[in-house]
């Protein structure tokens, strides 16, 4: 079932008890309960009345994103897998929820493992049941196991892809029909500079993050005319995952909270960026892209010289693979390779 953006009165009354109580405190005892509808509209909070799903939100970057989105008025489904033996209150997801609620926000914990093929549907169903709508997806969960290529098994590759790529795919695929139906959505996928450039000892991680870039670009093209905008961020933040690679004295500089404002902006209705790849950390941001140089005819006898010349040419990005090929055809015609 595709849910419309607004919450009907009847559906609002099916919210879990803690949310009912929280909403009545916001509105007063005699008020209608519309948790994400116009009744809670606050022009000072850009995301008031909207719902976000954030994966990997128990700690690190994901937690910072969830807190910032909630501070902007969004209701947040906080996802982080439960570790063995943890009670609800001990989980990192629930601790993030408690921090949001302590600040006056609205949140719910999700403990599904994003590598599970059914995790996307579970999160979407839970968000709709709790908040009545979905507006924003931040696919942040990831994992890495640095190891040289020759020492990694195919199973190792699959494990990293299951979280870093398929974890993003499962959530986005499950939510996509709802976003398209309501003609509104903001999606932020997480990649890495390793996905752009590669890195020694990170072949599996780099490959999974390169796949995220291709997914983002394709979804940006499909979603644009429906006002479903998709971007990717390659964040630099000091966290449990990155601590082995960053000196401890850089922790304050690369505090994860310094990336959160960018992610929050990418989720706002006023943000019209689409199909962009942004590298961000320590309070600064760069725009990245994949590009191609102008074409040159390479003959067998001058391959080395021709490739050296190509490497010195500026690179140009294209809106799509079709646009790239169209330009390539014009170069084929102009260079008359049959001559």
Identify whether 318 is a catalytic site residue. no
Question: Which listed residue (170, 205, 236, 238) is catalytic?
Answer: 205
- Per-residue H/E/C for the chain: CCCCCCCCHHHHCCCCHHHHHHHHHHHCCCCCCCCCCHHHCCCCCCCCCCEEEECCCCCHHHHHHHHHHHHCCCEEEEECCCCCCCCHHHCHHHHHHHHHHHCCCCEEEECCCCCCCCHHHHHHHHHHHHHCCCCEEEECCCCCCCECHHHCCHHHHHHHHHHHCHHHHHHHHHHHHHHHHHCCEEEEEECCHHHHHCCCCEHHHHHHHHHHHHHHHHHHHHHHHHCEEEEEEEEECCCCCCCCCCCHHHCCCCCHHHCHHHHHHHCCCCCCCCCCEEEEECCEEEEECCCECCCCCCCHHHHHHHHHHHHCCCCECCCCHHHHHHHHHHHHHHHCCCC
Residues β-bridged to residue 230: 187
Distances (CA, A) of 247 to 132, 242, 244, 288, 332: 43, 10, 8, 25, 50
Q: Could you list the active site residues?
A: 205
């Amino acid at each position: 079932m595709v849910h419309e953006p607004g919450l009907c009165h009847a559906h609002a009354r099916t919210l879990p008890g803690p949310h009912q109580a929280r909403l009545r405190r916001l509105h007063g005892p005699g008020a209608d309960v519309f948790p994400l509808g116009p009744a809670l509209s606050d022009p000072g909070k850009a995301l008031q009345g909207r719902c976000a799903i954030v994966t990997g939100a128990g700690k690190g970057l994901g937690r910072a994103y969830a807190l910032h989105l909630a501070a902007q008025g969004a209701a947040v489904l906080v996802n982080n897998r439960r570790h063995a033996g943890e009670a609800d209150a001990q989980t990192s997801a629930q601790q993030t929820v408690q921090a949001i609620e302590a600040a006056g926000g609205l949140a719910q914990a999700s403990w599904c493992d994003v590598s599970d093929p059914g995790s996307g549907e579970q999160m979407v169903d839970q968000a709709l049941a709790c908040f009545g709508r979905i507006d924003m997806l931040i696919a942040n969960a990831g994992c890495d196991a640095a190891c040289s290529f020759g020492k990694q098994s195919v199973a190792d590759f699959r494990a990293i892809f299951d979280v870093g790529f398929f974890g993003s795919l499962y959530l986005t695929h499950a939510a996509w029909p709802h976003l398209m139906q309501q003609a509104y959505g903001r999606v932020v996928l997480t990649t890495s500079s390793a996905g752009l450039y590669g890195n020694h000892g990170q072949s599996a991680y780099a490959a999974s993050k390169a796949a995220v870039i291709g997914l983002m670009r394709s979804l940006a093209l499909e979603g644009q005319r429906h006002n479903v905008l998709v971007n990717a961020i390659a964040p630099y933040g000091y966290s449990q995952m990155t601590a082995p690679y960053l000196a401890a004295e850089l922790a304050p500089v690369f505090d994860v909270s310094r990336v959160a404002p960018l992610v929050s902006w990418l989720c706002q209705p006023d943000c019209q960026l689409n199909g962009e790849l942004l590298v961000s950390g320590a309070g600064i941001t760069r725009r990245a892209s994949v590009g191609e140089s102008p074409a040159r005819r390479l003959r067998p006898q001058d391959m080395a010289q021709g490739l050296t010349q190509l490497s010195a040419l500026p690179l140009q990005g294209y809106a799509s693979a079709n646009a790239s090929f169209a330009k390539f055809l014009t170069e084929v015609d102009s260079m008359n390779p049959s001559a």
